[in-house]
């Protein structure tokens, strides 16, 4: 399944979310169901810059696909990270780097570009940008 197809499947969960509160409930549901790593497993270089709460992300390559591990101290940010993980997990580095347009369309079509929680504005985009940075480093090598 492609990143675009996975995002489409996730988008369906937002279809009935007419208000910001409804969209927030969907995001919080993802956060509650997320399988986060422990904070102790991350270093400062894994910290996502610009997030209102502590958010950490690691990306590694396994069998040609990217494996994402996340931790967030906020349930909203954990939800955003879980959505991105579900959409991107197992994709090749090139697929992730080529998914920017699909991710941006997803953000707009689900209403995630409208602040659900004022202090979390742009956090979804910042998480994706950080994933892109990690993947670019992965491609460039040591």
* Sequence-ordered alpha helix ranges (H) in the chain: 3-14, 20-33, 75-88, 93-97, 100-110, 123-140
CA 60 to chain centroid: 15
pLDDT of residue 116: 63
Question: Are the C-beta atoms of residues 111 and 17 closer than 8 Å to each other?
Answer: yes
Q: What is the Cα–Cα distance from 126 to 123, expressed in whole angstroms?
A: 5
Residue appearing with tokens 């709460």 = 53
Q: What is the Cα–Cα distance from 117 to 98, expressed in whole angstroms?
A: 28
Domains of the chain from N-terminus onward = 3-140 (3.90.1010.10)
pTM: 0.92
Strand partners of residue 59: 68
Which tens digits make up the pLDDT trace of 47-91?
999 887 899 999 999 998 999 999 999 999 999 999 999 999 999
Rounded mean pLDDT of the chain? 91
């Amino acid at each position: 399944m492609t990143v675009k197809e996975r995002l489409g499947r996730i988008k369906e969960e937002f279809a009935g979310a007419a208000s910001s509160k409804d969209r927030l409930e969907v995001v919080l549901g993802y956060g509650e169901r997320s399988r986060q790593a422990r904070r102790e497993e991350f270093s400062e270089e894994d910290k996502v810059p610009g997030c209102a709460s502590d958010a950490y992300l690691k990306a590694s390559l396994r069998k040609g696909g990217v494996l994402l591990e996340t931790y967030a101290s906020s349930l909203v940010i954990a939800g955003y990270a879980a959505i991105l993980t579900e959409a991107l997990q197992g994709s090749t580095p090139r697929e992730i780097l080529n998914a920017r347009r699909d991710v941006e369309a997803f953000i707009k079509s689900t209403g995630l570009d409208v602040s659900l929680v004022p202090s979390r504005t742009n956090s979804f985009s910042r998480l994706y940008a950080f994933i892109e940075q990690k993947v670019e480093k992965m491609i460039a090598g040591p």
